[in-house]
């Protein structure tokens, strides 16, 4: 299982939101590149980056910072937030970003996902964000009455690399991963699943690793890394104990 540190960018800074609420923001670093370099120095093999301003605007807002990170770190980065058209997908993939995350587009523009998956096989990741069994889109500012598993099944056999599954109610709250919902999704589809939202302690990593009836491809960790509740090096070491 891959341990993936998260870098969320708002107003050019590295922040964390509580439950996706833009009014509940904590700034952890003024320079997201410095944060990315720190995670790489601590052993990160992959970095998850979200343009929070872009997620609400529906267009690139912090892409200059993101490309600076892509240029200066020697590990892959996956990027989401405001990516709603092929032009933006091509822009990022053509400038050093390894994988693109489509969230809102996965709900509202299936044709884009299909086209992108065909043109860029295994470069596209879907972001499925759920709250009480429904979907959150547009930077989680909108709610859609659709089951996450049903949405994911629409994209079987379309060259999708992975699905990032986030429980919005737990994101940034350090209340633990929603193991039940994450397992339900992973067991229902063949696309690899990345767990996200609520990772609080090393016990959450151990719990994900202990799942034996399906495989979780990776886990994204945000606030717990920034507060020091989890050491990235310790999490990576723990993940290597199970192949």
- 74 noted as active-site residue: no
- 182 close to 157: Cβ distance less than 8 angstroms: no
Output the CA angle 160-161-163, nearest 5 degrees: 85
- 129 noted as active-site residue: yes
Rounded to 10 deg, the angle between the 32-41 and 63-72 helix axes is 30
Set 129, 167, 171, 204: catalytic member = 129
Does residue 133 sit in helix, strand or coil? Answer: coil
C-alpha to C-alpha distance for 199 and 170, rounded to whole angstroms: 8
Q: What percent helix, strand, coil does the chain show, rounded to 5?
A: 35, 30, 35
- 178 close to 216: Cβ distance less than 8 angstroms: no
Output the CA angle 36-40-44, nearest 5 degrees: 110
The residues carrying an active-site annotation are 8, 129
């Amino acid at each position: 299982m891959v341990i993936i540190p998260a870098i969320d960018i708002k107003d050019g800074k590295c922040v964390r939101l509580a439950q996706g609420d833009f009014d509940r923001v904590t700034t952890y670093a003024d320079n997201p590149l410095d944060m990315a370099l720190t995670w790489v120095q601590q052993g990160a093999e992959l970095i998850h980056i979200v343009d929070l301003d872009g997620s609400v605007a529906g267009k690139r807002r912090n892409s200059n910072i993101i490309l600076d990170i892509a240029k200066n770190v020697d590990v892959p980065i996956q990027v989401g937030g405001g990516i709603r058209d092929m032009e933006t997908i091509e822009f990022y993939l053509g400038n050093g970003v390894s994988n693109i995350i489509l969230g809102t587009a996965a709900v509202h523009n299936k044709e884009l996902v299909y086209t992108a998956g065909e043109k860029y096989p295994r470069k596209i990741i879907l972001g499925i964000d759920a709250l009480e069994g429904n979907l959150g889109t547009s930077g989680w500012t909108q709610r859609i009455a659709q089951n996450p598993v049903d949405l994911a099944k629409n994209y079987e056999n379309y060259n999708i690399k992975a699905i990032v599954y986030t429980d919005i109610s737990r994101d940034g709250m350090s209340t633990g991963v929603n193991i039940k919902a994450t397992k339900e999704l992973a067991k229902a589809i063949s696309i690899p699943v990345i767990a996200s939202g609520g990772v609080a302690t090393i016990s959450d990593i151990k719990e994900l690793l202990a799942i034996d009836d399906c495989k979780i491809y990776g886990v994204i960790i945000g606030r717990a890394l920034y507060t020091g509740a989890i050491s990235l090096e310790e999490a990576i070491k723990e993940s290597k104990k199970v192949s």
